[in-house]
Amino acid sequence: MDIERLSLGTIRCIGEVLTTKSVTVAAERLGISQSAVSQQIARFEKLTGIPVVARNGARLAIRSNEAARAISAMMEPIDAMRCIALGKDIGKLRLGISEYVAARYCSNIELFIELEKEFDVLIGRTLNLSEMYNNGELDAVLRPLFHHESEMDLMTDVPLVWVASEALAEEIADKIHLNPIPVILEAALSPYSYYAERALREAQIRYKVASRVDDSLVRIHLVSAGVGCIAIPKFALSTLPSGEKIRVVPRIPDTSHIRFGLFFNKKLVPYKKACQIFEAISGEIA
């Protein structure tokens, strides 16, 4: 045994493997390759002499519950130190919410103020929130799910609708099958872009990408100017600027949905608390 040679990176990796019982999911959450996770498992078992996991079909089984509990206990002060280093109040849970969810809350600012009283709230794009959660910088995240992510216990489906300027919406309604419709998509990897394009393909509607923009405010300005149309979650209709002449495009099928789910650190957030968070936020976006 050579336990002193264990790094915090190895311990965190093993902790994720034990939590998810999956090399694939652990790799996604840590932002590393599956082979790197397997190497960390081998390194841990070699240095400690403790076999921690065994294959059980496509999943992993925990071989040492004592080791699992010890690793979980080790991660708590590490997470606390990370909070201190980031200047965060360790008495508050760090909650990440996506832009459209935040905009929905801001349409009733009192609700957002109440949310900030209980949580250290961070608002960001889906990909950034996913990376921050995987790096241990957030305790819970409510965000859209990517198409490749599996079903979750705390998850809800939200309809997507297409919006455009009044003039463009009328033009699309008249010539939807004659000319490709201009659409605005996000530049970075985005669930919205994936489901938007899939909905258009399934409806056999020709389209062209007019622009790729990550900033939601810029996208709204482009939509208002008639550059293209965008797909947004239905609950976000109430957050559109009242002075802008933006309307729903009726001729594009609104059968497409996007999944929103709550990811939470099971070591810091009890399941009952996670349910309370999810029910409060999903009540705003349902």
Per-residue pLDDT of 88-115, as tens digits, reads 555 688 999 999 999 888 877 888 888 8
Which residues share a beta bridge with 207?
Answer: 181
Q: Give the CATH number of the domain where residue 50 resides.
A: 1.10.10.10
Would you state the pLDDT for residue 285?
83
Say if CB 172 and CB 229 are below 8 A apart. yes
Say if CB 23 and CB 34 are below 8 A apart. yes
In a domain, 81, yes or no: no
Surface-to-core class of residue 158, CB atoms within 10 Å of its CB (0-12 exposed, 13-18 middle, 19+ buried): buried
**Do 146 and 105 belong to one domain?**
yes
In a domain, 182, yes or no: yes
**Do 227 and 139 belong to one domain?**
no
Q: φ, ψ for residue 254 (rounded to 5)?
A: -105, 35
Who contacts 208 (Cβ-Cβ below 8 Å, separation ≥6)? 180, 181, 182, 183
In a domain, 280, yes or no: yes
- 3-class DSSP state of 45: helix
Surface-to-core class of residue 39, CB atoms within 10 Å of its CB (0-12 exposed, 13-18 middle, 19+ buried): middle
Say if CB 259 and CB 153 are below 8 A apart. no
Structure-token pair, residue 249: 């495009």
**Do 34 and 53 belong to one domain?**
yes
Which residues constitute the domain of residue 55? Answer: 3-73
In a domain, 45, yes or no: yes
**Do 141 and 274 belong to one domain?**
yes
Would you state the pLDDT for residue 54?
87
Q: Give the CATH number of the domain where residue 228 resides.
A: 3.40.190.10
Would you state the pLDDT for residue 254?
63
**Do 279 and 141 belong to one domain?**
yes
**Do 179 and 54 belong to one domain?**
no
**Do 131 and 166 belong to one domain?**
no
Q: How far is CA 194 from CA 162, 199, 205, 256, in A?
A: 14, 9, 15, 11
Distance CA 157, CA 261 (A): 9
Would you state the pLDDT for residue 68?
85
**Do 169 and 52 belong to one domain?**
no
For 142, other C-beta atoms within 10 Å of its C-beta total: 24
Who contacts 110 (Cβ-Cβ below 8 Å, separation ≥6)? none
Exposed e or buried b for every residue in 209-245, given b needs 16+ CB within 10 A? ebeebeebeebbebbbebbbbbbbbbbbeebbeeeee
Give 48-56's long-range contacts (Cβ < 8 A, gap of 24+).
Answer: 48/1, 48/3, 48/6, 49/1, 52/14, 52/17, 52/18, 53/17, 53/18, 53/21
**Do 13 and 99 belong to one domain?**
no
Distance CA 55, CA 47 (A): 20
**Do 126 and 250 belong to one domain?**
no
What pTM did the predictor assign?
Answer: 0.65
Specify the number of domains making up the chain. 3
Query: Final residue of a domain: which of 42, 73, 104?
Result: 73
In a domain, 139, yes or no: yes
Would you state the pLDDT for residue 35?
92
In a domain, 78, yes or no: no
**Do 171 and 37 belong to one domain?**
no
Would you state the pLDDT for residue 182?
93
Residues in the chain, pLDDT under 70:
1, 57-58, 83, 86-91, 176-177, 243-244, 251, 253-255
Q: φ, ψ for residue 279 (rounded to 5)?
A: -65, -40
In a domain, 108, yes or no: yes
Would you state the pLDDT for residue 211?
93
Would you state the pLDDT for residue 87?
62
**Do 186 and 245 belong to one domain?**
yes
